[in-house]
Amino acid sequence: MATASRNGKPNVSPKGSLRVLDDEHIAFAEIASPNTLANLKENPLVTVIVFDPATWGGCRIRGKAEILESGDLLESFKSQFAPLKMKVHFAIKIAIEDVTIMPPMKTGQKG
């Protein structure tokens, strides 16, 4: 996931908790990404890359993030990560604005 501060300072951070909520929203748990959170507070626009290393396919999702401090989504993430002894601070819900599909590559095209 890529974010940028209001003055354009970029940050990239992997999100292992990413989930599809519906056709218009994705979300992730904010566990240990202070730079991502700081950027989202200044600039909610994000880009997320989803990549399947087995096929080299995936998609790029652009959208606008909302920081959720309470609610069912946050509680769901907290329950998911509690057995792993990981504290979820916020749920980040992203309203999808654009999706670009990256089709799988054929054998021999990689790299």
In a domain, 111, yes or no: no
Return the higher-pLDDT residue of 105 and 9.
Answer: 9
74: burial class by Cβ within 10 Å (0-12, 13-18, 19+)? Answer: buried
**CATH for 62:** 2.30.110.10
Could you report the per-residue pLDDT of 65-107, keeping only the tens digit for each? 999 999 999 999 999 999 999 999 999 999 999 999 998 887 6
pTM above 0.85, yes or no: yes
Q: State yes or no: pLDDT of 35 exceeds 80.
A: yes
Tell me the residue range of the domain where 17 lies.
2-102
Strands, sheet with 57-68, edge to edge from the N-terminal-most edge strand: 10-12, 2-4, 45-52, 57-68, 90-102, 25-30, 19-22
In a domain, 110, yes or no: no
CA-angle at 74, arms to 35 and 10, nearest 5°? 20
Q: In which band, very low, low, confident or very high, does the pLDDT at 109 lie, cut at 50, 70 and 90?
A: low
Q: Which two tokens stand for residue 25?
A: 């929203």
The structural domain count of the chain equals 1
The Cα 1–Cα 13 span in angstroms is 5
Q: Which pLDDT score, from 0 to 100, does residue 110 have?
A: 55
